[in-house]
Amino acid sequence: MVDCHSRIWYAVHFLYLYIKYLDMDYQSLLEEIAAEVKPLLGQGQVASYIPALAEVDSLSFGMAVVTLDGSVFTVGQANKIFSIQSISKVFNLVLAFSSLDEAIWRRVGKEPSGNAFNSLLQLEYENGIPRNPFINAGAIVLADMLCEYFSEPQKALIEFIRKLTNNSSIEYDIRIAKSEMDTGNRNYSLGYLMKSFGNIRMPIDLVMELYFKQCSISMSCKDLAQSFLMLANHGVVPYSGERILTMSQAKRINSLMLTSGLYNEAGDFAFRVGLPAKSGVGGGIVAIIPKLLSVAVWSPELNGFGNSLAGIHALELFTTKSGISIF
Ligand code: GLN
Which class for 189: exposed (0-12), middle (13-18), buried (19 or more C-beta within 10 A)? middle
Distances (CA, A) of 21 to 16, 66, 325: 9, 13, 11
On whether the CB atoms of residues 51 and 66 are closer than 8 A, the answer is: no
pLDDT of residue 22: 64
Quote the pLDDT of residue 1: 52
Supply the mean pLDDT for the chain.
95
* Residue 53 and residue 282 in contact, taking contact as beta carbons nearer than 8 Å: yes
Using the mean position of ligand 1's atoms as its centre, give its distance from the Cα of residue 71 in Å. Answer: 31
Q: What whole-number percentage of the chain has pLDDT above 70?
A: 94
Kindly give the number of the ligand 1 atom that is closest to the alpha carbon of 85: 8
Cα separations (Å) of 307 from 175, 186, 249, 269, 302? 22, 19, 26, 10, 5
Mutate to test the pocket of ligand 1, among 46, 117, 179 (most ligand atoms within 8 A of CB): 117
Whole-number Å distance, alpha carbon 262 to ligand 1 midpoint, is 12
| Arithmetic mean of pLDDT, 39-58 | 96
183 CA distance to ligand 1 centroid (A)? 12
Q: 252 C-alpha to center of ligand 1: Å?
A: 22
Distance from the alpha carbon of residue 98 to the mean position of ligand 1, in angstroms: 23
pLDDT tens-digit series, residues 113-168: 999 999 999 999 999 999 999 999 999 999 999 999 999 999 999 999 999 999 99
Residues 111 and 117: beta-carbon distance below 8 Å:
no
Give CA–CA dist 85/284, Å, rounded: 8
pLDDT of residue 8: 72
Residues in the ligand 1 pocket, defined by CB under 6 Å:
85-86, 117-118, 136, 180, 187, 215, 280-281, 306
User: What pLDDT is attached to residue 7?
Assistant: 72
Residue 87 CA: nearest ligand 1 atom is 8
User: How many angstroms separate the alpha carbon of residue 237 from the centre of ligand 1?
Assistant: 27
Q: Ligand 1 mean position to 4 CA, how many Å? A: 53
Give residue-wise pLDDT tens across range 223-254.
Answer: 999 999 999 999 999 999 999 999 999 999 99
Atom of ligand 1 nearest to the CA of 86: 8
> How much is the pLDDT for 303?
97
Instruction: Report the alpha-carbon distance of residue 133 to residue 211 in Å, rounded.
Output: 12
Atom of ligand 1 nearest to the CA of 180: 1
Over residues 101-119, the mean pLDDT reads: 96
Q: Model-level pTM?
A: 0.95
% pLDDT > 90, the chain:
92
- Between the CA of 300 and the centroid of ligand 1 the distance, in Å, is 13
pLDDT digits (tens, 9 = 90+) for 263-321: 999 999 999 999 999 999 999 999 999 999 999 999 999 999 999 999 999 999 999 99
Question: Alpha carbon 192 to chain centroid distance?
Answer: 25
> In the structure, what pLDDT confidence band is assigned to residue 53 with cuts at 50, 70 and 90?
very high
Which residue minimizes the CA distance to atom 2 of ligand 1?
85
Q: Looking at the predicted structure, is the pLDDT value of residue 10 above 90?
A: no
Ligand 1, atom 6, lies closest to the CA of: 86
Q: Which of 46, 215, 224 has most ligand 1 atoms within 8 Å of its beta carbon, as the pocket-test mutant?
A: 215
